[in-house]
Amino acid sequence: MENRISKLAPSILSADFCRLGEQINELENNNIDLLHIDIMDGVFVPSISFGMPVIKSIRRITDMFFDVHLMISEPIRYIEAFAKCGVDGITVHVEACKDLEATLDKIKEQNMKCAVAINPDTEIEEITHVLEKVDMVLVMSVYPGFGGQKFILESFEKVERLDKIRKDKNLDFLIEIDGGVNVENAGKIAESGADWLVAGTAIFSGNITENINKIKEEI
């Protein structure tokens, strides 16, 4: 637990979809081994992103871990379909599930890693009952649905509290943070206890390789 090293998780929501395969290849050349894939339904969040055909397409060109973040209502309906696309791990929102534990169990039944996400205005107490079940907790440091938002400073406290809980209870879930991550705040985020830092705009805006190297230097 004490030797965790924070890692970078590029969010392809900010990628150039005309060059998606090329950009994924550049990520791999920079030793990135996890892709964060945001799925939005226009119901749980206002925006609509993309779905299973895109995941199937990029699964053919990379062996990277597919970390799929479902920002959709009642995600339990689609767990099996995403598993068939070659997804490695699924994150669902506590706010979007009528039965969170059943949804997490469904993910595990499909031999995928399971994670729970909490929005900025959701308290940690809403998910403490599943911390022994999940492989990861995703702390949203912006309100989900839109890229380019500023990092919400209160997110540091959430990450620190979750890190303390897992140490006190000897749990092994990972902590991921998503939203407003950039070269200026990446170091402090890592120090707070986050294992995975999701970054979209900060990676795909400009020179991808240079952006990755700058953020990695901080974490």
Catalytic residues: 38, 178
Distance in angstroms (rounded) separating the CA atoms of residues 46 and 201: 19
Q: Tabulate helix, strand, coil % of the chain (nearest 5).
A: 40, 20, 40
Evaluated on CA atoms 6, 131, 44, 91, the torsion sign reads positive
Tokens, residue 31: 């030793």
139, β-bridge pairs: 118, 177
Distance in angstroms (rounded) separating the CA atoms of residues 77 and 91: 14
